[in-house]
Structure 1
Amino acid sequence: MSADPTAKPSLARGAGQHVLILAGEPDTAELLATTLELAGYRIGLTDTAAKVLARLDTHRFDLLVVDTALPDLPGIARAGRPVIAHRPPVLYLTPYDSLGSLLPELGLGEKDYVTKPFRVAEVLARMQVLLRGPAAPGRPGHSPCYDDLVLDDTLCRAWRGPRALDLTPAEYRLLRHLVLNAHRVLSKEQIGRYVWGDFRGGNAIEQLVSRLRRKADRDGPPLIHTRRGFGYWLGRADGED
C-alpha cells in the first residue's frame, strides 16, 4: 500500500544523546527541555554562559543548544578555549536580524543556526544533522560535485572552479541538495524541509535561491534554474529558464 502523500513526515528523533541547553528565558528553556526529552534526548539545562563553561569542563555533552539572547554569551568562546577538552557541536537559536554578526562565529562543519521564532521540527532536524557529524574523507558522497562546482562536506565549503563560495549554512545545504539531485526539479516544499527541517511559505525559498545564485553563478554559465510553477533544478541548460 502506498504512503499517503498528504501525511506529515515524522519528526527527527534522538537516541539518548546528551544535550546541554543554554537559555535564559524560562519559557524557551522549558519548551526546549520538554520537547527534546520527549524526542529521546538526555537534557542538561543552564541559564548563563559561565555555567555552560563549568558544565562542559566536567561533563561530556554530544550537543550544545544556545539561545543567543543571553547577555554574557559573547565571552563564551574566548573564555572556553583554555579549559574545554571536548567541544560539542553547537546549534544557535538567533533572530534573523542578528545573523550578520553571528555567521562569522559559526565555524565550518561544527555549528549551525535556527532563526527565531523557531519551529520545533526545524530544531530537531538541525540537531540530527549536527549529531551525525561531517562525512569522513573517502566515504561515498564526501565530495559532491557537478561540472566545475565542488563541495566538501568535511569543511562545509564549496567552490565554483578556483573560486571559493562564501556560503551561509542554509545556502550550503541548498546547494548540496541541488547538486545531489542534479537535473531533477525540486519543489519549494522539498527544499524547505531539507534546508530548515520544515516547509516555509512566503518568499523565503525565493530569497534563499536568489542569494545562492548570485554567489554560485556569478562568473560562469548559470547552473541553478527555475521551472516555473514546479521548483528549482541544477544543471547545464542551453536556453533561458
Structure 2
Amino acid sequence: MGARSHVKHYERVEKVRLLVVDDDPPIADLVATVARYEGWDAVTAYSGEEALRQAAEFHPDIVVLDLMLPDLDGFGVLDRLRLSGTMVPVVFLTARDGVADRIAGLTRGGDDYLVKPFAVEELMARLRTVLRRSAGPGFQRSVLQVADLTMDEDTREVRRGEKLLTLTPTEYEVLRYLMRKSPAVLTKAQILDHVWEYGFGGRSNVVELVVSRLRRKLDGPDEGADGRAPLIHTVRGVGYVVRQVAE
C-alpha cells in the first residue's frame, strides 16, 4: 500500500492582497487569476481612477500598474497613492520600454519595472522579490516539499536531498504544479492548461517528454538507480502524481 505523501507549504501567514491595474482586461484578469492560484487575494482595475478607488477600499499589499491608462496615467496613479500616504510597493507592467520611462518609473517611487510582452512566471517572481524586500506583513519564504524533494519558490532552487537540480523553466513549472497538487493525480490536459496555457491543445506528448526529463533529473538515468525511490508516478489511464510510495 502506498504511503501518504506529505507536502509541506511554508508560506505567509496572511494572504497577499494584489491590485492589478491595466486597461487591457485579458492581461489584468490573467495576472489576477495566476495570483489567486498562488493563494493570493487579487482584484483588478481598468483605469487610473478605478485603481485609486480600489486601493482605498482593498488596501493592497502590492500593486501591478500599467503606465498607459485611459484617464490618469500610471505615473499619476503612483503620485496620488504616495500623496495619500500609502507606501504600497508598485511594480510597473507596461509596453513603454524607453530608458527614460524605466528611470522615471523607478525614481518616482516604483519598486520594479517590467516591459510587455512578459512571462507571467517572471512577473510573479518579481512580485515575491519586492514583497520580501519590503517585508510585507507575515511574508515568509515559500517552500514545497515531498519526501526529500524540496522547491524554494522564491529562489526557484530545487533539491533532491542535498543535490541541487538544474531544471528548465518548463520543467520547473510542471514539477511545481505536481508538487503543489500532491498527492492528487493530474491529467495531461490539466498540466497542459496550467503550464502552457494556450496553443498546445491535444499535444499530450509534450507532457510525456517533460515528465520523462524530470524523472531522469530527479532519479538518475534509470529510476531509482542511485538508491533513491522515484517520486513521479504514472497512474495508468489518468495522469501523473508526485508522492512517496512505501517500499
Larger RCO (CA under 8 A, 6+ residues apart): 2
The normalised TM-score by structure 2 is 0.48
The normalised TM-score by structure 1 is 0.49
Higher Cα Rg: structure 1 or 2?
Answer: 2
